Amino acid sequence: MSPPPTDELSKQGIGIKGGSPDIFEEEPVSGSRRCVDVSLFVHPLAPLQQQGQALVAHYVDKLKALPKEAVRLLANAFGASKTGQKRGVIWDTVAHCLGIAPNTTKRIWTGAQHWGAGSSQWQPVVPGVIARSKIEKVSAAEEQDTRERMVRNAVREALATAVEGQSYSAYERQMVRNSLSEAMVGSRLGSRRVAQQFVNLGAMVMQLLDAEDFHTKLPGIGVPSHYGVSMDGVPIGVGHMTSHDELLVVCLYIVSARTFVAHSPMLAAPAMPFDGKTGEGMRQLASRTLAEHPANLNTITNIRRGSGIGGDGGVTKGGPAARHKTNSGAELLWREWHPAESTPICTNWDVFHQSDLGFWRAAKELPPILEVFDVGKQVQNMFGFGRGAVLARAIGALGPAEDIPKSMPGAGGTRKTGHMAVVTGSVIHNLLTIVKGLHARIVWSQRKQSGGSYSLKEMEHLSGRLTDTGFVTNLLLLDSIVHNIIQPFSRKPF
C-alpha cells in the first residue's frame, strides 16, 4: 500500500522529510513539542501488528512529554519500577501497563523513530480512501465468487443433461425450476446455446485428460502403453442398415496409467463422407481422426506404439482364406504405419466371433437346438408385437410384478449365439405367461373373435410343443450350456 499524498499528511500536522513522514518529530513547525497523532496508523483497516506498535509508541511519547517527577508518580501508581533514569522508568511503566517486556517497549520506540525502517514498517491509512478501496475489493471478490458458483451450477446441469441423453429443452426447464427455487443460476445461463457451449467445453476437457493419460508412462515399464485401434461404421439414419448418415467410431485399446487396467476409450466418431465406405476413404478418415485428437496420434506415434488394428468383417479381410466381402480399411491403415512389404500382416479372429460361428455350425446339426430357435421365433411373432404384446402384459399383471414380460425376443441378427442366450432365458421366464396367452388366443379363435393370423391348428401345435417334457428339458439344458460355457468362453480376451 503506497503512502497517502503529502496534503493528506499535512492536514494531520505531520512534517515530511525525504518523502517519508516523521511521526515523532521533536521540533514541529509551531516550535513547541506536542504528542503525535497516530490515527493514521491505528485504524480498523490497518494491520493489527502495526496498530499495537503504534499504541506502544504513543504511550511512550506521552510519558516523555511529562516532567520526570510526574513520570515517577505514575510509575508508583501503576506499581512499576520508579528508580533509575527517566527513560528506563518510562520503559518499565509502559511495559507494566501493557503486559509486555521493557526491552520490547524500547525496541518498538527505537524503530518508530525512523518510519519505514527497522521492525515498524508502518503504512499510514487515510480512512476515506482506504475504506472505499477495501469495500470495493470485498465487493468485487464476492461478486466474482457468486459468478463462479452460478457457472458451476449451470455446468453441472448441462453435463447431467448430456449424460442422461436429454434435450437442451430439458436443460432450460431445469434452470427455470432452479431459479424459482432461488438457486444461484443466473439469468443469462439458462439458454440452450450456453448449455451447448458447456457440453462442448466439457468434451474438450475430457479429450485433454485422455490425451494426458495416453502419454503418461506406466510405472512398471517406464514407457507409455502400446495401443490397438478399432474402428467400425455405425449408421444413425432412419434405418439400421442405411448406407448414409454413418459415423466412423474410432476407439483405442490401451492400458490406463491411472488405473493400470486395459480399457477401450472412444476417440471420436466423425461423419463418413460419400466415399468413406471404401477402404481408402476409411483409411484417410481414421488416420486424420487419430492425428487431430489432442493426443496427436500421428503416423510416427502409431509406428512406435501401434500394436494392432481391429474391426469386423467389413473392415478387415480376415486372412487369405476369408470368403466375405470387405473394403480392407484395416489392412490399408496398417500399411500406412508399416509400408515395408516385409512387414507381416497377422489376422486373428476374436473368440467371440469364433465361438459364435462354431456354435451355429454345431446347432445346424442338432434338431433340438433348431427347434428352440423355431419356437422362439413363433413366440416373438405371437406375443412380441401388437395385441399379442398387450395380452402378454395383461396376463403377467395378474401375478407378481416380476412376471410382467418386458419383451419377447427371438433369435436373429448376425450374432445368433448371443441372441440364443436371450431367447432361452425369455422363454423359460415367461413360459407360464406364454401358455396362458396361447390358451386365450385359442379361445378367441374358437369363438371367432379375431384370434390373429395364426390358425387354431398352429396355436394348438405350438402349445403342445411348449408343454412337451422333451422340449422343456432341451430348453433348460441349452440355457445352461449357453450361460455357463459359451458366454464365459466368448468373453475371454483374444
- Say if residues 28 and 10 touch (Cβ distance below 8 Å): no
Helix (H) or strand (E) holding 65: none
The confidence score (pLDDT) of residue 111 equals 73
Please list the ranges in the chain whose pLDDT falls under 70. 1-40, 43, 45, 81-87, 113-138, 237-244, 276, 319-322, 350-353, 401-421, 449-452, 487, 489-494
Q: Residue 207 to residues 211, 294, 295: CA-CA distances in angstroms? A: 6, 7, 8
Instruction: Kindly report the number of other CB atoms within 10 A of residue 134's CB atom.
Output: 13
* Sequence ranges of the domains in the chain: 6-125, 129-208, 221-348, 353-490
State residue 469's pLDDT score.
87
Cα four-point dihedral sign 273, 274, 279, 281: negative
Q: What is the pLDDT of residue 81?
A: 65
What pTM was estimated for this model as a whole? Answer: 0.53
Q: Report DSSP letters for 251-277, one per residue.
A: EEEEE-TTT--EE--EEE-PBP-TTTT
Give SS3 for 113.
coil
CA dihedral for 208, 214, 220, 223, sign (positive or negative) = negative
Would you state the cell numbers that stand for residue 283, as one nine-digit string?
483409411
Q: How does pLDDT run across 213-225, given as a tens digit for each residue?
A: 999 999 888 999 9
pLDDT value, residue 108: 81
Which stretches does DSSP call E strand in 222-317?
Answer: 227-235, 246-255, 262-263, 266-268, 306-310
The tens digit of pLDDT for each residue in 101-148 reads 888 888 888 777 654 433 446 666 655 555 555 556 667 777 788 888
- Residue 233's SS3 state is strand
